[in-house]
A and B are shown apart, each in its own frame.
Chain A
Amino acid sequence: MDLVHLLQGFAVALSWYNLGLMLIGILLGIVVGVLPGLGGPNAVAILLPMTFSMQPTSAIILLSCIYWGALFGGAITSILFNIPGEAWSVATTFDGYPLAQEGRAGEALTSAFTGSFIGALSGVVLITFLAPLVAKFALKFGPPEFFAVYFLTFCSFVGMGKGSRFKIVAAMALGFGLAAVGMDTISGQLRMTFGIGQFLRGFDFLVVVIGLFGISEILVTLEEGLAFKGKKAALDLQVVLRTWKQLPRYWLTLLRSSAVGCWLGITPGGAVAASFMGYGLAKKFARDPDRFGRGAIEGVLAPETAAHAAGTSALLPMLALGIPGSATAAVLLGGLMVWGLQPGPLLFVEQPQFVWGLIASMYLGNIAGLVVVLSTVPLFAAILRIPFAIVAPLIIVACAIGAFSVHGAMFDVWLMLVFGVVGYVFKKLDYPLAPMVLAVVLGDRAEDAFRQAILGSQGDLRVFWSHPLSASISSLALLLLFWPLITALIHRLRPARQAVAPT
């Protein structure tokens, strides 16, 4: 049955108009991925207002293709310039740049792109088969279950996150606070507006994203004083084919990275964590781990596959539950609401054309992405040679235009500047930005679910444990929340046992 839907989706996606948008999206995405200071979530946020008048299906095809392009593009700078264009391609520099130094840039790029493609494909296949089931299952959800899933999302940020847990909680709570500013959707009462007229509208997440990810990224980049000294890349068909011939040898690495990526994408671990984990696992299981860091093909393949698998499967909870698994997915979810679609499990029932068109476009977009990126590497490497003194003001102008066009309000441009500085400080102090953005996007929906759930129980929080379904999700959330404590406990018990064992 699903295959019929998928074929219908292909019929939607395969129009000339949509194919053209796909190509534009991928090219824009690669540019965005190549340029430091213009990340995936930011670019999608800037372009979102331009799609307000488009068909939702075409709009999301354009924006999701920017996302795929950004995932591909990040690898180019990592390998040729040793500069990760995106956070998820940091792990790619470990082996990609040494390969380029040896003059094997072509091989490194081919394996990076192919790995990305395979990772994305496994993510899309997972979405194709799992998302409808999850959505169907979620149709049974009531407010307690939905809040439990939101709770799970945020708990896994706290439990799985690195660094100070307080900072994760603070970023999240701040995001919820920002989301609450303005008119309360249920009672119509004004909250935290402090008599300032501009606050009535509340803080739009797009403005927050453009500031937090765009402006702040420019500031961080400026500080490092970028000097682009790149390796030359010659990518001809021969190199591509020769590299492809080698790849089947690494099937286990590909499989492992895909699995890790898919898992971390669905739970909001995200592409960044996935790329490092993929790299770590490949090194751990390699027969000769010493080669890693000095130019191992697997060292490029593993993180790229995992990052792309995570980036893709982050869209699964967004489509099936209305809960995004990454910052970019959060922006896309915000787009759904702007286009007048109600995210959540009903989307599969009410808007099958949209959902399956998007899924089909994921297949096509990634195939097109692979072809485009393989054939245009020299062009994009040239873009990186454009000095930052030209690129930076253009990006800032693009951010200002993006922030203004959300509501046509000058106040939003000022707000963008404020969030740019906030993002700069937060980045330097290792506050996580993703949970904050997620909280801004999901704030109202999470709050509504919470209020409806406790309304039914007259304020008794045990309502989240009153049904087996919500009880198991809530318990899982708590388990994830306290996961660091649990593992610490296990670690404390284990050495005692090991001390006895080897006698």
Chain B
Amino acid sequence: MSAEAEQTEASSPRVPRWMVELAVAALLLAIGVVMIVSNAQIGAGWAADGPQSGYFPLRMGVLLALSSVGIGVQALRMPKDLTFVRWDQLKPVLQVTIPMVGYVALIQFTGMYVASALFVAAFMKVMGKYPLWKSVLTGVLSSAVLFWVFEIKFSVPMPKGPLEALFGY
């Protein structure tokens, strides 16, 4: 953390770390409880042929639940002024995460290659402020290379959409 980082810290809203710590601990506790309950239902005890299916995972659930309580206590004790993330840091992360979700959704409709070309081009245009032709060219070229490597060289099938069908793939 340098001096300039501290300056932006003052001007940008922030998410306090202890809150996130506590939220994650609560989530882990919930997962731990689900593990315990779910495995107790299928049987976590001792059967005639040895330990039942839930035996080991249930105990792991207990371990997870107990340690998440420990994490929660530590979170409550930690200094309240620690930052998890500042808004100016979170913004680029969200700017990429949300299009990434869109990209994965798009794969289901257009196939891997078209979606990838669009994603690369859009990313370059919006995040990198590149001219449109450069962005589109990079996107198309990279997908072409990927198509050559995966479909032709290694014959690893990827999801394909209407465009690939046009070429007979």
A residues lining the B interface (CB < 8 Å): 49-50, 53, 164-167, 169-170, 172-174, 176-177, 180, 184, 186-187, 189-192, 194, 215, 218-219, 222-225, 387-390, 392-394, 396-397, 400-401, 404-405, 408, 410, 413-414, 417, 420-421, 424-425, 428-429, 447, 450-451, 454-455, 459
Query: B51 and A222: CB pair below 8 A?
Result: no
Docked pose: A424 CA to B54 CA in angstroms: 30
B87: min CB distance to chain A, Å: 11
Docked pose: A225 CA to B60 CA in angstroms: 38
Which B residues are CB-close (under 8 A) to A401? 112, 116, 146, 150, 158
Chain B residues numbered 99-151 whose CB sits less than 8 Å from any CB in chain A: 100-101, 103-104, 107-108, 112, 116, 119-120, 123-124, 127-130, 138, 142, 146, 150
Docked pose: A74 CA to B13 CA in angstroms: 34
Docked pose: A172 CA to B68 CA in angstroms: 12
- A173 partner, pick from B38, B64, B123, B156, beta carbons under 8 A: B64
Which A residues are CB-close (under 8 A) to B96? 218-219, 222, 392, 396
Query: A417 and B100: CB pair below 8 A?
Result: yes
Which A residues are CB-close (under 8 A) to B146? 397, 401
Majority DSSP secondary structure for residues of B touching A: helix
Chain B residues numbered 40-88 whose CB sits less than 8 Å from any CB in chain A: 42, 46, 50-57, 60-61, 63-64, 67-68, 70-71, 74, 84-85
Q: B12 within 8 Å of A by Cβ?
A: no
Query: B97 and A421: CB pair below 8 A?
Result: yes
Which A residues are CB-close (under 8 A) to B52? 187
Query: A223 and B92: CB pair below 8 A?
Result: yes
Query: B107 and A413: CB pair below 8 A?
Result: yes
Residue of A nearest to B127 (CB): A389
Query: A174 and B31: CB pair below 8 A?
Result: yes
Provide a sorted-by-A list of 18 A–B residue pairs whose CB atoms are within 8 angstroms.
A164-B70, A166-B70, A170-B67, A177-B35, A192-B34, A192-B35, A192-B57, A194-B38, A219-B96, A225-B92, A388-B128, A400-B107, A400-B112, A401-B146, A401-B158, A447-B57, A454-B50, A459-B46
- A167 partner, pick from B50, B63, B71, beta carbons under 8 A: B71
Residue of B nearest to A389 (CB): B128
Query: B24 and A425: CB pair below 8 A?
Result: yes
B residues lining the A interface (CB < 8 Å): 17, 20-21, 24, 28, 31-32, 34-35, 38-39, 42, 46, 50-57, 60-61, 63-64, 67-68, 70-71, 74, 84-85, 89-90, 92-93, 96-97, 100-101, 103-104, 107-108, 112, 116, 119-120, 123-124, 127-130, 138, 142, 146, 150, 154, 156-159
In the A-B complex, the 4 residue pairs with the smallest Cβ-Cβ separation, listed nearest first, are: A389-B128, A166-B70, A393-B123, A173-B64
Given contact pairs A166-B67, A173-B32, A429-B24, A400 touches B103 in the complex (Cβ within 8 A): yes
Residue of A nearest to B116 (CB): A397
Docked pose: A49 CA to B158 CA in angstroms: 12
A302: min CB distance to chain B, Å: 26
Query: A454 and B51: CB pair below 8 A?
Result: yes
Query: B158 and A451: CB pair below 8 A?
Result: no
Docked pose: A400 CA to B55 CA in angstroms: 35
Query: B97 and A219: CB pair below 8 A?
Result: yes
B17: min CB distance to chain A, Å: 8
Which B residues are CB-close (under 8 A) to A405? 150, 156, 158
B105: min CB distance to chain A, Å: 9
Docked pose: A172 CA to B63 CA in angstroms: 9
Query: B64 and A177: CB pair below 8 A?
Result: yes
Residue of A nearest to B157 (CB): A408
Docked pose: A405 CA to B107 CA in angstroms: 13
A73: min CB distance to chain B, Å: 21
Residue of B nearest to A167 (CB): B71
Q: A396-B100, A425-B20 are in contact. List 10 more A-B contacts (CB 8 A).
A: A192-B34, A192-B35, A222-B92, A390-B138, A396-B103, A397-B146, A408-B157, A417-B100, A424-B93, A425-B24
Query: B56 and A410: CB pair below 8 A?
Result: no
Docked pose: A218 CA to B96 CA in angstroms: 9
Docked pose: A413 CA to B103 CA in angstroms: 10
A293: min CB distance to chain B, Å: 16
- A222 partner, pick from B39, B93, B101, beta carbons under 8 A: B93
Residue of A nearest to B51 (CB): A451
Residue of B nearest to A455 (CB): B50
Query: B70 and A400: CB pair below 8 A?
Result: no
Docked pose: A215 CA to B67 CA in angstroms: 26
Which A residues are CB-close (under 8 A) to B51? 451, 454-455, 459
A503: min CB distance to chain B, Å: 40
- A451 partner, pick from B34, B42, B50, B100, beta carbons under 8 A: B50
Query: A191 and B38: CB pair below 8 A?
Result: yes
Residue of B nearest to A54 (CB): B154
Which B residues are CB-close (under 8 A) to A223? 85, 89-90, 92-93
